[in-house]
Every structure is written in structure tokens, then in C-alpha cells.
Amino acid sequence: MVRGHSISILGTLLGILLIPATAFRSGLNVVSGGEFPTPCPRTCFDAGPDHTGWDVYASLAELRQCQQSVVFDFAIYNPPTVNPQHIRACSVWGGQLFNEAPSPIQVSRRAANISNKTTVPSDVELAWWGDSPVSDSEDSGAANAASGLRNAGQYLRAASKQGKKTIFLVSAGKSVVGVYVGQRISNVDVADRLIPHLVGHILPRGLQDAAAVQLCGAGRAAEETLGIMASTDITKVQSALQNWTSGSCAQEQTGSSTLEGVELDILQPRTSAFRFSNSSENSPMRRYNPRPRQISKRDQCTTITVVQGDLCGTLAAKCGISDADFLKWNPKPDLCPNLVIDQEVCCSPGDLPNRRKQQNSDGSCATYDTVPDDNCSGISIRHGLTLDELERFNENTWGWNGCEGLWPGVRICVSEGDRPLPLPVPNAVCGPQMPDSEPPEKGKDLALMNPCPLNTCCNIWGQCGTTADYCTEATGTRQELAKVQNRCISNCGNKIIMGEKPSNFIKLGYFEAFNLERECLNMDASQVPSDYTHVHFAFVDLTPDYEVNIGDPLVKFQFEQFKNIPSAKRIAAFGGWAFSTEPASYKILRLGTEPENAEKLASNIARFIIDNGLDGVDIDWEYPGGPDLPEDDPGKASEGGYYLDFLKLLKQKLPGKSVSIAAPASYWYLRQFPLKKISEVVDYIVYMTYDLHGQWDHGNKWSTPGCPIGNCLRSHVNKTETLNTLSMITKAGVPSSKIIVGVSSYGRSFHMAAAGCTGVDCTYTGSRIVSDARPGRCTGTGGYLANAEINEILKRGGNVKSWIDEESDSNVMVYDEVEWVAWMDEDTKTRRKQIHFGGTCDWAVDLQNFVEPPSYNTAEDIPGAAGPIDWTGIKLNLYRTGAPACDLERRTVRSAYDSYKTIGQDVQRRSHEFMTIFSPKEESLGALSMVLDLLTIPVAGGGAMIFKNIFGSIVADDVLTDVAKDMTNAMISVGFSAAKSTDPASRVAGQEMAFNSIIDSTIELWEIQAASVLKKLFSGDDDSIRALTELTKDGRLTPGSRNGTVKDSDVSSKIAEEFAQEEIGKRAFYAVAIPTVWNETGQFPAVLDAGDCRGENAIPDIVSKDGSNYSYSCYDRRAYFLVSAPGTSEGWRCTPGEVKTIDPCDTQPFRLPRGINQLDGTKWGTVTHHDIIAGAVETYKKAGNRNGGNVEPNPNDKETFDALYDRDIRAPGIIKIPVCPAEQGHRNWVNGAVAKKEKFYPCN
């Protein structure tokens, strides 16, 4: 449910409204703790190096939607473009790949598990493909490739060898790295002795097509082969992996050379049948003789296994026996010409062991877990089976696609017996692969395990949703089913479940009680059309102690009018979006419904309904258990149950009256509701099937199907999507007769990216939080037009086109070439009635038409009025509480600006010192950029703190701190719009100035700004009336009044002097000036995210050890570093050599912004590097976790004002420094010549 003044900030948290309906495919990671779903898998740090603990994706296309570096594997013999795949992945964040590098103790333990090893010279080849020179102005791909190789080295150091081959890939930017290390080669050796050579080759030359190091061919077995390739072509990498797993080399290189002096450890596990010797063979990898195992049965021989490249002669040599003995103990006539990989042969007298496994005692089959380079032939041979037997044993095995589509990470049967429970998938949230699942009863369908909340569809990847990606049922052969990428396994289909026809159709309308706050398009409650059966009064507030409250004079007046509506059911609505999400009020319903408070809250609401003679109550809590509302304090799982119990209690206290709730048309939020049980308590549910799309979709590829960036022109009342959400709520068990379907009397509008392009694939401009659409003349919000405003544009004519979009069943209008809006006229709303649910709910009746004021009895209804008056006069008289203290208001504004003039003069006196410390030069700076940044200080970060102090002094009573906050909000909100009209371009545009001259210009502009603020404050428009009322009501600025302590007419000058002394304004000034100077002098500051806070030495190579004292901060449980990226990094300094316990590729530490060591909180306005990091992160979060987005410290945004008031310079929009993962920042720094062309470097 929207609430008038909050409509402009809906995008803050509604950007993922439909994510669950369009985005919970395989691999989407729903992070616990209240974060939004992300296209990236869990971090490798959290998932660990074992591939079985990684998240699963169905295609490389899905995996590529993650913008972070990713470590992954897949079936290397399956074409990478053929879907579905079974890709296991973890992401890299902050530079530290896994939980910890092996300690010296762990290294020694690993060595102790190796009974024999030898270090041998190795003819490792360095090869490259492509030889086109790369200019300095081109992106060579070197930084991405080097980053991926460094990640590969970290993985090799962390992964346990345990006698197994190592196969994996790394995706870094556009580069892909593929790694194969045979069973008998040390992973750590490869990381320390080979990867540095490859990085050293790529960095100075660029990646070109591909580059690799490989040890392969010349009859070498696969277990003694290794290869590492970096390329931008995954098919080239896949081909190389296929070659290496068979012992052969990647071919057709442009050039190659042999790495000199490379030695590698050749390993032999203690449990093997072999030991090394000093005997010499042609290949340096053949220096061993057998040590026969103890024969467990008299007739069994000791064995070895055939690998790629083996012949009978090489096998005899491995056994340490003569060719004649080999043939005698392996007498099969056609053995030598028909050797098969994984086949066992005898090295001693006796029969080959029987490798067939028996089923388990409980009747289940013996199992095997597949790996990336498996094939059915090898699996069958290793387990003594025929291919037909392997296929037969797995006809009903979960994840078995047959030998043609064998996936890694599938638990299959290698004997007779019942099928096993499949391996868990860490990111599965439904189905049999959900972690910690218990085996079902014998014979129970595995697909029915762990159903989704609300009976939504569960697909084969263990993800819940409501669209075709989850709900499509598939039939056919196993081979046919394997080709269906996201087929449904339980609760399939999205058919609406229709119940009995309602006895009476409800036509419900919400009345925005706050509509008189608009400059126009006002309505009185008495003017609600008479054809509505139910009218909801939006909204009645609650206090933190659960008392009912209607404080605003306009709302209070409208409530009295509302009570007298004659024909409709009069319902008081509590809550709404703003009340449920804003810091000052979001806890009221959350805590009020808890068992210890529910009685009081229910009693107070019931008493209010009864005392005012109303017909019912509507609770619009948005939303219980919300996993991201707010982000820093998400809802809890228990809230849904508490909400149900509260509604039961409220219903008991209101016999004969209706109780209803509002519910979101979003699985993401609705899944926390015990919806079926709630529907058994309430009389009806208002289902908010509007705002399905909006400006907040921009940048969110999950919100808009078929739209890669999310910014496609889509209707917010799309009928197809509406029907899909109706399927969800009816499948959840809510009777259709109790569902009131939402319709809207407003449109969502967009500024088209291209004139004439109006289809669903056409795009709009702006960002997630900034709409370029033209605001309505009354609603005043970009991206939102009331139906009355739309009809006014249509009647105006001219360059206007409108039509019915049949696919979405929406009205569409384009005007002035590039202004696009979708809405519902009355005919469209009527068609929604034909869906045959319990009724329709219209938000909102006051948005439909322009109406004239009713004929009030002005003497009684509106105190102070003396005859017919217009809407402005009505509002002015309702607000009037006494004569404003105009003189003190003027002096208050002047005192604040005088303090800034004093601050500016003080800054000028210290300008040489300031520039010496924070700038590498005292040269001219870009004047316009810096003045624009400094200009809003008096009405943003600094203004909030200064007026907070002023009004806190005037309103001295501690009980009245909220009053001081309201007064501060009123003053700086009026000031912000006036300040924005101050145009510095005519003074400084295109100029470069010395720092002192910039401050001179800023002070002059502050003077102009002060005059504009005063002019605006006393202009008499709606904004000024509201501000003056807030400042003066209850005698707040009247000396000697009950709420005031003002006794000295010179108080303003004393306050200004106090502010200058306390450096309140200086703090805001330097918080803006220091980052601006860093930016203007080519220091390229950035805040780098190094992952979870793990102590001061979390990521030691981001900055120097000493530098971390000045640049590191743990904020909101994340480790951040404030750094500078001038010039171009030397990249990774890799030193091939001995096996070490640290990474041999050391990252060049970032530099620090000049003067950062001076930010210790004792000077420069007490600004610290912790403040700058926190402010930059808050700006980044406000922009939707991205850089840019035109975030301003706009006090008219309630959330931003609260941050300004409570956090001063840390509020979003004050400090603008780019934020990104440390690894991304370093990659761009390495590629500085190209990357600096982009905005937000090094976080572009």
C-alpha cells in the first residue's frame, strides 16, 4: 500500500517486488539475514574449496549474470552452450578466496601423508594463441586474466589433493581460466612455480586470444599432465581441458617456449601399490618401481589402472616386471590392442579383483558421486559393470540424464538397490536437494520433499517461484526431460483456483487522508463517489506505546468528514508503506503484535473503531517477516505467526465489524504470511496487484522478464502478471471470494530512451531512484501520474497518443514524444471485475478527478474561515494556530548562514595548509564541480545539524525532541528546493580556480541561497505554509511560551558563535571538500569492500601494513579500505620459486589518499576516514548498491532526512566516493590506461 508522500521513495525497497516470480532460477542465492536475492553464488570463503558445497547453476548464461569473479566446474565433455548444465560455483569477493591458506602445520601434515615423492626437472611449455599487438588505449584483458590466475593459485593452495586430479575454471571479467592438474602433481607446486610465469607473460603483452602453461604429450599419462589456460573463449579452454585429461596438449598455438629450470614434485600416496626408486627411465616421470600390496585373497593379483597413453609395454614398466610376465599374468588374447582407460591389469599372479559392489543392507544401492571429467565407460569399468547395467540401475536416480548428458555432482547407483537421496545443493530451498533433508519413507516420491511456501512451484534446481521457470510441467522420455531447463517437480502449474462466487461483490476504494498536502488535486472525504461499497481511510497512525493517533490537522479534519459518509462501509486503515518501513515507526506493528503487546494494541484499535462508529478495520503491515525491511533490521520468521494471533485477537474484539489486511502480490514478501490461516480469520484480503513495475526496476535484471537491465517499458498493472499472482494466492489456500483484486487510479510513467520506441523491449532513462519522467503538476513526482492528470493531458491534445495494449490489458499514453505512461481507465477497471474474485480495490479515489471544494459550513467546520474559500484557503485556515514569529524565523535562517560565512572565512585562512595536506598540487581546481558539491551543505548535512542544534536549544524540554526534529525538517526541506534553484554555472562554469577563489564563490552563493530560502519561507505557497505551521504551532518560536525557552533577543548571534566554535558546520564542509579535492586532483579515491570483517589483517595486500591503520574500517559488518588509485598499477608481482605458505603473486598495495593520516578526529571538522567510508557506503546503498544514481541529500525524502538528522555527514548523498569489491578495483587499476576513461574509476 502506498502512502502519499512516500510514493516518490517506493523504489528504495520495491526494486525486487517481483523478483521471486521471475528470478529464482537455479543458482540465485537468497542470502540469509535479510538481503535481496543475488545472481551470484555464495562466496568461496563461505562455501569452501570442496565443489560439493558450491551453489548450482543451470547454464553459463545464468552464471555470467554475476558480475563478480567466480570459481566453477561443469561437465567438460558437454558443450557449454547446450542447456541445461549442472554448474557448481562460488564467487570471489574481497580478494581472499578461501577461509584460510594452509598453515605451516597443515603443509607439514600434507607432506606426512605422502610416503614418497621426488622433485624432477620438467619441460613445461609456455604457449600462446594470437599475436595481434595491443595498444595502450585498448583493453588487453591482462588484468582480468591475471586476476583469474591469481584466484586459481589460491584455489590450488587451498584444495586438498588426496590422490585426485584437480579440474576447475575461474571467470574474471571477460576472461576464463581453466586448470587441470593430474593426480600425481602437487597443486601447491603448480600455484607457486607455474602460475607466476603465466601471469608474467600476460601482463606486459596482453591476453590476445589465449595463453597457457602445459606439461603434456610425449606418451605422458593423464595423471602426470597439467595445464592452465587463460582466454576470453570458454570453448577454447574447454577443448584444452579435454586434451589435458587425456594426457595430450592444447594444440595449434601461435608460439611457444620452454620454461627453464622448473622442477615439480611428483607424488605417490602411501596407500598406493608403488614406491619411487632411483632407477632412470626415458621420462623423468617414470622413476619408480612397484611395491606390491598385500594380496587380500590368494587368487587376486595386485593391479594398476590404465590411463590415457598407456600401452602394454608402459604398463609392464609401471609394474616393474618384464613384458613376458605382464602378458603371462594378463593372458587375454586381445588385451593390448583394446586397452581402455580406467581398466585394471595385473602386476602379479592371480585374478583381477571383483570391483562390483553389492547393495547396502537397508536395500539401497551402492553409490558413486560423479566429477567433471567422468564418462559412463570409465564409471562402468571402475565398478565392474556394463553400460547397460549402469543405465538400468539409474533409470529412476535423481539427476541422471543418461550417458549423453552426464553431470558432475550427481549421486548415482553402481549396484542394484533403491535409489539414493541426491547430494544436497547448498542454494536449494525446496525439493530433495535442500540441505539437511532427511531420507523419506521408502516409496515416497522424492519430488514431494520440502515443498515451497504458499504451495508455489518447485523446479528441478530446488528453487521456488510462480512463472514458467518454475511451474512448467514436462512429460516424455528421460532424454526429453533432460532438455527442459527449469522443469517443475512439485506444486506445478499456475492455474487459478476458483472457489464459490462471492455473495456480494465489493467495490473498495482507498481515500488518501493526506491528499490535502498536494498543491492541487484535492478531495474531501465527503466527496467519495457513492458507488463504492467500502471506503478505507488511509491512514490512521499509532504511537510507539500503541495508542491510536491522528495528529495532522488536515488528516484529523478529513477523518471527521469520513465518519459521515452515508452509504459505504467506513473502514479505518492502519499502517501503509511509509509507516511500516520508516525508521521512526517500522517497529510499532512489529513489536505491537508480539504476545506481550498484542492485547494492548488490539484493544486500542478496537476501542477506536467502536468509539467512532466505524464499520471495520484494515491492517496494512508491509510486511511481517520482510527479509529486507529495513535492510539493517530485517523482519523475523516469527512475525507471521504473531500477526495471525494478533488478527484473531482483534477479530474477537470487533464482533459484527469487518477485519481485513493488505497483502503484497510478491512471493518474496508474501511467503512469510501464514496466508491460509489468516484467510480463515479476516473478512477479506486486499491484494495489491499494482506497482508490478516502476522506475525501481532499472538496473534489476530479475524484475522484468526478457529485459537484461530491467529498464523496459512495462505496465505496472499488467494483466498476465496479475493473473500469475492470483494463481499464487489461491494455490496458497485463500478462497477466491475473499480476495479483493487491486486496481489503480494512477499511472507509472517513464522517460523513453528513444522517441517512437514504445514496445515491451524499448527502454527508459534515469536510474533506480531517479526518474526522468515529467512530474504531474499536482502529484509532483517523476514516474507517477494521477488519472486526473493523465486525463487532463489527453484533453489538452496536441502531441498525444493513447491506445489499449491488449497483451497487458492496460491503457498506454505517449505525450511530448518521449513521455510514456501506463494506467487503467474505468473500462479497464471494469474488465478486471470480470476475473470473478471477491471484488476490486482502487488506489485511490482522490486521484481520479479534479473536484471543487464542497460547500463547508465554514464557521463551524473550519475555524477562522468566513465564507466560501478555495482549497488553499481551506488548508491555510486548518493549519492556522496563531501569528508566526516571523522575526525569529528570519534571524534563525540568517544565523545559520552567518555561521557558514564564518566557516568559509576560517577555511580560507587555512587553505594553504589544507591544500598542502590533501592535494598533490596547489593548482587550479575544477570550480563548478566543487561549488556544486559545497553548495547544498547549509541545507543538507550541515543544515540538519545546525538547525537541530538551534531548535534543540529553543525547544529545551527533553520530552520535545521530536518537536525539534519536525521543526528542523520543515526548515531544511523548504531550504533545499530554494537552494537547488541557486545556479552557480553562470559564475564558475568551465573555469578552473584556486581553492580560495572557489571558497569566495561558494560564500557568495550561500548568501544568495539564504535570501532564496527566506523568500521561499514566506512565499505563501503550500510548502511554506506547512513549514511555517510546523515552526510556529503551539507557540514553538514564541519567547516565553510553554514549549520555548527563548528569552534573549540576541540568541541567534550567540548560537551562530557557538556553532563556529564547535565546528558543527566545519564538519559538514570538510566531509564534502576533502573527497572533492581528492577527485579533482587525480587521486581517484575509492572505498574497497574486502568482505566480512575478519580483523585488522583481513586482506593484507590491499594497502601497506602501516596504511591499514589509516584506511581500514569495519562498517556494517563489512571490511572496507579507503584507497587512492593514481597512475596504473604494476599488477601482480609474481615470483616463481619454492613452495611457500603465502601467495607468490603479491598484489601491489593501493596508495592512500593524501592527508588521510590527518583524519584522526581532532581537526578538519573532526572528520575521520571511518566517516568518509560510512558516508560513501550509504550513498552506494541508497543508489541500489551501485555507483552513480544521482543520490542527493534531499531532506524531502523521509528516509534521507532521518539519516541527516541522526548520522549527519554519514547520510546518503553527502560523501560521493565510488565503492566496489577490492578485486574489481585492483583489476581496473592494473588496466588504468583504459579504465580511467569510465566514470567511477577504479570501481567502473
Residue 758 banded pLDDT, cuts 50, 70, 90: very high
Return d(Cα 1052, Cα 1070) in angstroms, integer. 24
Residue 858 in this model has a pLDDT that exceeds 90:
no
Residue 172 counted as domain residue: yes
Mean pLDDT of 925-933: 50
Among 823, 847, 871, the domain boundary falls at 847
Mean pLDDT of 220-248: 92
CA distance 440 to 446: 7
| Mean pLDDT value across the chain | 79
Highest mean pLDDT among 277-291, 487-501, 897-911, 1024-1038: 487-501
Residue 473 has pLDDT above 60, yes or no: yes
Same domain, 1021 and 1169: no
pLDDT at 18: 35
pLDDT for residue 848: 97
Amino acid 271 reads T
Instruction: Output the pLDDT for position 661.
Output: 98
Q: Tell me how far apart the alpha carbons of residues 690 and 692 are, in angstroms, rounded to a whole number.
A: 5
d(CA 1155, CA 459): 55
Q: Residues 810-831: what's their mean pLDDT?
A: 96
**The three grid cell numbers given for residue 77, joined into one nine-digit string:** 565433455
User: Mean pLDDT, to the nearest integer, of 811-831?
Assistant: 96
How confident is the model over 51-55, as a mean pLDDT?
A: 90
- Quickly list DSSP for 1136-1199: --S--SS-SEEEPPPB--TTGGG-BSSSGGG-BHHHHHHHHHHHHHHTTSSS-S-----TTSHH
Q: Are residues 1060 and 1092 in the same domain?
A: no
Higher per-residue confidence, 622 vs 873: 622
Q: Does residue 776 surpass a pLDDT of 90?
A: yes
* Structure confidence at residue 1127 (pLDDT): 72
CA-to-CA dists, residue 923 to 919, 935, 1164, 1217, angstroms: 9, 21, 21, 22
Which of 187-191, 439-443, 1195-1199 shows the lowest per-residue confidence on average (mean pLDDT)? 1195-1199
The dihedrals phi and psi of 437, each to the nearest 5 degrees, come to: -75, 140
Asked if 609 and 656 touch (Cβ cutoff 8 Å), the reply is: no
134: pLDDT confidence band, cut at 50, 70 and 90?
low
Which of 476-480, 750-754, 1181-1185 shows the lowest per-residue confidence on average (mean pLDDT)?
A: 476-480
pLDDT at 432: 96
What letters, b where the CB count within 10 A reaches 16 and e where it falls short, cover 1179-1217?
A: bbbbbbbbbbbebbbbbbbbbbbbbbbebbbbbbbbbbb
Q: Which of 62, 224, 622, 819 is catalytic?
A: 622
What stretch of H or E contains 1118?
Answer: strand 1118-1124
pLDDT surpasses 70 at 5: no
Give the residue-averaged pLDDT of 393-397.
93
Between 1056 and 244, name the one with better pLDDT. Answer: 244
**Residue 816: pLDDT over 90:** yes
> Is the separation of the CB atoms in 998 and 930 below 8 Å?
yes
pLDDT (0 to 100) of residue 260: 83
Which is more confidently placed, 1010 or 589? Answer: 589
Per-residue confidence at 929, pLDDT binned at 50, 70, 90? Answer: low
Q: Which helix (H) or strand (E) is 784 found in, with range?
A: strand 784-786
Residue 307 lies in a domain: no
Specify whether 1094 is located in the same domain as 1058. no
- Indicate if 701 and 563 belong to the same structural domain: yes
The DSSP call for residue 185 is B
CA distance 487 to 483: 9
- The pLDDT value recorded for residue 1196 is 65
Is residue 890 predicted with pLDDT exceeding 70?
A: no
CA distance linking residue 16 with residue 666, whole number of Å: 9
Q: Give me the number of domains the chain comprises.
A: 4
The SS3 assignment for 510 reads strand
- Tell me the average pLDDT across 603-609: 98
136 alpha carbon, distance to own chain's centre: 34
Tell me how long the chain is.
1244
Q: Is residue 551 part of a domain?
A: yes
Q: Which three cell numbers stand for residue 597?
A: 503487546
- Is the separation of the CB atoms in 747 and 790 below 8 Å? yes
CA distances for 192 relative to 79, 121, 263, 1141, 1144, angstroms: 32, 15, 11, 10, 6
Q: Tell me the β-bridge partners of 230.
A: 177, 211
> Do both 650 and 742 map to the same domain?
yes
Residue 230, domain member (yes or no): yes
pLDDT band for 756, please (50, 70, 90 cuts): very high
pLDDT at 993: 56
Which has more confidence, 372 or 143? 372
The answer to which of 281-295, 575-589, 1170-1184 has the lowest mean pLDDT is 281-295
Summarised one tens digit per residue, pLDDT across range 66-111 is: 888 999 999 998 888 777 888 999 998 765 666 554 444 444 444 4
Q: Dmax of the chain from CA atoms? A: 123
> Based on the domain organization, do 814 and 755 belong to the same domain?
yes
Query: Is 826 among the domain residues?
Result: yes
Instruction: Indicate whether 507 and 647 sit together in one domain.
Output: yes
838 and 909, same domain (yes or no): no
Full domain range(s) for residue 727: 500-847
Question: Quick check: bond before 1100 cis, omega within 30?
Answer: no
Q: How confident is the model at residue 7 (pLDDT cuts 50, 70, 90)?
A: very low
Flag whether 463 is in a domain: no
pLDDT > 70 in the chain, percent? 70
591: pLDDT strictly greater than 90: yes
Strand ordering across the sheet containing 175-181: 55-57, 87-91, 70-73, 166-172, 175-181, 226-231, 210-215, 125-129, 255-258
What is the structure's pLDDT at 933?
55
- Structure confidence at residue 960 as a pLDDT band (50, 70, 90): very low
Q: Indicate whether 548 and 667 sit together in one domain.
A: yes
Burial label, 989 (beta-carbon count in 10 A; 0-12, 13-18, 19+): exposed
Q: What is the mean pLDDT of residues 210-233?
A: 90
* pLDDT at position 663 over 90: yes
Task: Report, as an integer, the average pLDDT of 52-61.
Answer: 89
Nearest CA among 693, 729, 721, 684 for reference residue 840:
684
| Percentages of the chain per state (helix, strand, coil), in multiples of 5 | 35, 15, 45
Confidence of residue 4 (pLDDT cuts 50, 70, 90): very low
Claim to verify: residue 1044 and residue 1088 sit in the same structural domain: no
Residue 455's pLDDT is: 96
Q: With beta carbons less than 8 A apart as the criterion, state whether 764 and 770 touch.
A: no
Query: Residue 1186 to residues 950, 1122, 1207, 1213: CA-CA distances in angstroms?
Result: 36, 17, 21, 13
pLDDT band (50, 70, 90) for residue 293: very low
Residue 1181 has pLDDT above 90, yes or no: no
| Grid cell 580560495 in the structure block, residue | 996
1186 within domain boundaries: yes
Residue 1072's alpha-carbon distances to 366, 809, 966, 983, 1078, in angstroms, are 66, 49, 25, 19, 10
Summarize pLDDT for 1125-1137 with one digit per residue, the tens.
887 665 555 656 5
pLDDT of 124 reads 92
Measured distance CA(866)–CA(877) in Å, rounded = 10
DSSP 8-state assignment for residue 36: P
Query: Same domain for 768 and 911?
Result: no
Residue 558 has pLDDT above 50, yes or no: yes
Q: Is the peptide bond before 684 cis (omega within 30 degrees of 0)?
A: no
**Mean pLDDT along residues 543-552:** 92
Confidence class of residue 1144 from pLDDT cuts 50, 70 and 90?
A: low
What pLDDT does residue 136 have?
46
Does 507 score more than 60 pLDDT?
Answer: yes
Which of 820, 847, 874 lies at the terminal end of a domain, its last residue?
847
Q: Is residue 519 part of a domain?
A: yes
The reported pLDDT for the residue numbered 894 is: 54
Q: Which residue has the higher pLDDT, 883 or 183?
A: 183
| Cβ proximity of 943 and 934 under 8 Å | no
pLDDT band at 1045 (very low <50, low <70, confident <90, very high): very low
**Range in 584-598, 714-728, 953-967 with the lowest mean pLDDT:** 953-967
| pLDDT in the model for residue 21 | 33
Q: Between 44 and 1064, where is the model more confident? A: 44
680 tagged catalytic: no
Q: Helix or strand or coil: residue 276?
A: strand
On whether the CB atoms of residues 1122 and 1173 are closer than 8 A, the answer is yes
Average pLDDT, integer, range 1082-1087:
91
Picking from 1034, 1065, 1096, the residue at the C-terminal end of a domain is: 1065
CATH number assigned to the domain comprising residue 138: 3.30.430.20
Q: Is 1186 left (phi over 0), alpha (psi -120 to 50) or beta?
A: beta
CATH code for the domain of 674: 3.20.20.80
**What nine digits make up the cell of 1237?**
576513461
Using pLDDT thresholds of 50, 70 and 90, give the confidence band for residue 337.
very high
Which of 30-34, 135-139, 548-552, 915-919 shows the highest mean pLDDT?
548-552
The distance of Cα 446 from the centroid of its chain, to the nearest Å, equals 32
DSSP 50-63: -GGGSEEES-HHHH
Domain co-membership, 938 together with 1017:
yes
Written as nine digits, the cell of 585 is 515507526
